[in-house]
Amino acid sequence: MAPAARAIDLDGGGISDVWEAYYGTGPLQANGNPDGDPMTNLQEYYFNTNPLVSNPFPIQFVTNLVTQEAEFSFYAPPVLRYRWQRTDDLMTSWTDLGDEIVGDDTVHIYTESISGIQKAFFRVHPLGAPDADGDLLDAFEESLLGTSDLTASSDTDTMPDGYEWANGLNPLINDANGDRDGDGTSNFQDARPNNAAAGILTIAIATPAHNTLVP
């Protein structure tokens, strides 16, 4: 499975920090596997399974020798996107099968005739999730946090949700007038790096460029 973009990955592990916080794992490496199951942390992310609890591989495979069909299935978490793909030779490119799948909390099934097939490889290719509102959180991260992917500032304080989360603020509470780092400057003013009079949000691990979204 090829990696797709993660909106917030401040620790550089290759996995969404929001997802790590959701499962309470602390920083993880994409290729790690702390629970010793068949999936890497990155694969657990794409199928939204707990990386600290052993889980079976999410893609199930069944052959029916009577109908000469192979059936593949997997559970698709909400808003994450996928494609079924096939190749006859792992040295060549993969071919898309059917339309893009948008996760809807159900099991998706792909069936193909195996009559006359000598060799074939199938996979579920993860495509990640979009960031429709441009707030630095993708739709999957927003679903974990309970924020909206239709508005950049779910709490209407004009600070983008992703900026708030990355800097220890609450994207569900209007905290524009608060002073998270105690420097005497409001959170809203701290969130304006181009304002020479503004302070600096000193708790920030990294400050995404977002000033175009703030009046």
DSSP string, 41-67: HHHHHHHT--TTS----S-EEEEETTT
Q: Do both 51 and 95 map to the same domain?
A: no
Q: Which of 124-133, 169-178, 185-194, 205-214 has the lowest mean pLDDT?
A: 205-214
Q: Do both 22 and 81 map to the same domain?
A: no
Cross-strand bridge partners of residue 123 = 85
Give pLDDT tens digits for 33-51. Answer: 999 999 999 999 999 999 9
Q: State which of 32, 56, 80 marks the end of a domain.
A: 56
Which two three-digit tokens encode residue 28? 């993880």
The b/e string for 12-36 (b: 16+ C-beta within 10 A; e otherwise) is ebbbbbbbbeebebeebeeebbeee
**pLDDT-based confidence at 185, cuts 50/70/90?**
confident
Does residue 134 form part of some domain? no
Q: Do both 39 and 83 map to the same domain?
A: no
Does residue 162 form part of some domain? yes
Mean pLDDT of 130-134: 91
Q: Do both 98 and 76 map to the same domain?
A: yes
In the chain, the number of structural domains is 3
**pLDDT-based confidence at 22, cuts 50/70/90?**
very high
Q: Do both 31 and 88 map to the same domain?
A: no
Does residue 142 form part of some domain? no
**pLDDT-based confidence at 76, cuts 50/70/90?**
very high
Mean pLDDT of 75-96: 93
Does residue 185 form part of some domain? yes
Percent of the chain whose predicted confidence (pLDDT) is above 70:
85
0.85 surpassed by pTM: no
Does residue 152 form part of some domain? yes
The residue segments making up the domain with residue 40 are: 1-56
Does residue 47 form part of some domain? yes
